[in-house]
Amino acid sequence: MEEILAALPRQQHPDLLVGMETADDAGVYRLSSEIALIQTVDFFTPIVNDPYLFGQIAAANALSDVYAMGGRPLTAMNILCVSLKMVAKEDLAAILRGGIDKIHEAGALLVGGHSVEDQELKYGLSVTGIVHPDRILTNAGAQVGDSLILTKPLGTGVLATASKGRLASPAVEQQAADLMRTLNRIPDDVLASGTIHAATDITGFGFLGHALEMAKGSQVVLTVFASQVPVLAAALEFAAMGLIPAGSFANRRFCEHHLQVSSGVKPLLLDLLSDTQTNGGLLLAVAPAAAPHIVRRFQEEGLAATAIVGAVTAPGPGVIRVEP
Amino acid sequence: MSETVDARGLSCPQPVLLALAAMKKLDKGELTVLVDTDTSKENVLRAAASQGWQEAGVEEKAGSYQIRLSKG
């Protein structure tokens, strides 16, 4: 896909602040010296059986890209691919109810949408948000000395595979769904403090894949301490049983040449570091003095697993070092 | 006891579930698992390690893997 996109004509415009070139989470366009527009779109096939939960997760996931740019979502549009012959009306209603509930929780409004006939159900949102042009967070701002913070535990990809094999208990499935439907909202006071230098959200490419985008975008070396990275206990168990999704192996291969792994790192933790996530947490590079306070603020807002997981340790061509 | 599980053509996580069921049934001995993706190969090897089975060799042939496992 990267290759196909690279073949498109390059666009330059004085008000295009974040375009297609940087593997960032959303596009940003300056409307005035005070306001820039953030636009993003994301939709996917069901990852949980409960239609209401699926709607919530899909919406939270689409909204996440606005938060990862330091923005505030304003409006959203539904995107729905469905065959009414194959999906019960009440299930569809539950999906859309889940979506609008999440949109409202984010303080945004649903203003329309579009549906197409499709044998395979898909749902998501196009989201529009705003940010001050001087306070855009990208993956390119990490500075040597910054602390790295991750706001959600890893392992939802492994748990999805375990669910597919009917091995995950209802309690574990609920724990994963609760994580995936939790908004990635950055507390206002943390945003205003200006101490976040770079941000991205952890999704399909896994922690390592998205961290690598930050390392490359910022031209730095990130050092990650595997034992400090929050992971779901059940995911560790299932990874040991061999329930790792194909995407997680692909993520590892993709990062391989930019990865330096110390010998003491537990192989299973490395599996979870590459695990493909749905609406995973934010990875933030922050001023080190502010890091403990930022961790506490995310914990107060409900993201209890938020932790400092490493640091930006050197300038460089985009490398991740993994230490025990 | 020895047994062969042919999990070729099955999508994840079926191959690993079949392999785990066979390990449980055999308890010990020799087990051969046939899979046709890298993902299944990696996952079957992890499953084996978690159940105390040793890897006795992996052979790649015409796009599929023959994984030989043993437990004494």
| Cα angle, residue A114 at apex, residues A108 and A119 outer, rounded to 5° | 125
Considering only CB atoms, which chain B residues are within 8 Å of A167?
13, 17
How would DSSP label each residue in A273-314? HT---SS--EEEEE-GGGHHHHHHHHHHTT-TT-EEEEEEEE
Cβ distance of A243 and B38 shorter than 8 Å: no
- Tokens standing for A215? 């390392």
Q: What is the pLDDT of residues B42-68, one digit of tens each?
A: 999 999 999 999 999 999 988 899 999
pLDDT band at A227; cut points 50, 70, 90: very high
Return the percentage of chain A with pLDDT > 90, whole number.
94
Considering only CB atoms, which chain B residues are within 8 Å of A245?
12, 39
Read off the DSSP letter of residue A185: P
Return the percentage of chain B with pLDDT > 70, whole number.
99
Chain A, chain B: beta-carbon pairs less than 8 Å apart:
47
Cβ distance of B46 and A246 shorter than 8 Å: no
Collapse the DSSP code of A38 into the 3-class scheme (helix H, G, I; strand E, B; otherwise coil) and give the result. Answer: strand
Q: Report CA torsion sign: A51, A54, A58, A60.
A: positive
- pLDDT for position A2: 78
Considering only CB atoms, which chain B residues are within 8 Å of A246?
12, 37, 39
Distance from CA of A194 to the nearest CA of B (A): 42
Query: Measured between CB atoms, does A57 come within 8 Å of chain B?
Result: no
Q: Where are the domains of chain A?
A: 2-135, 147-323
Decide if pLDDT at A249 tops 80. Answer: yes
CA A105 to chain centre: 18
pLDDT band at A23; cut points 50, 70, 90: low
ipTM for the assembly: 0.91
Query: Measured between CB atoms, does B14 come within 8 Å of chain A?
Result: yes
Query: Measured between CB atoms, does A107 come within 8 Å of chain B?
Result: no
What's the mean pLDDT in A169-195? Answer: 97
- CB burial of residue A30 (10 Å; 0-12, 13-18, 19+): middle
Contacts of A43 (CB under 8 A, 6+ apart): A58, A62, A79, A81, A122, A123, A124, A125
Touching A: B residues 21-50, CB under 8 Å:
37-39, 42-50
Cβ distance of A240 and B46 shorter than 8 Å: yes
The CATH number of the domain covering residues in A2-135: 3.30.1330.10
pLDDT band at A144; cut points 50, 70, 90: very high
Distance from CA of B25 to the nearest CA of A (A): 16
- pLDDT for position A6: 83
The domains located in chain B, with CATH, are: 2-71 (3.30.110.40)
- Closest residue in B to A163 (Cα) is B13
- Closest residue in B to A167 (Cα) is B17
Mean pLDDT, chain A, integer: 96
Contacts of B55 (CB under 8 A, 6+ apart): B45, B48, B49, B67, B68, B69
Q: What is the pLDDT of residues A281-321, one digit of tens each?
A: 999 999 999 999 999 999 999 999 999 999 999 999 999 99
Nearest to B13 among A165, A240, A249 (CB): A165
Nearest to A242 among B37, B38, B47 (CB): B47
What's the mean pLDDT in A134-152? Answer: 96
CATH 3.40.50.2300 is the classification of domain A147-323: no
Asked if domains A2-135 and A147-323 share a fold, the reply is no
pLDDT band at A9; cut points 50, 70, 90: confident
Considering only CB atoms, which chain A residues are within 8 Å of B19?
242
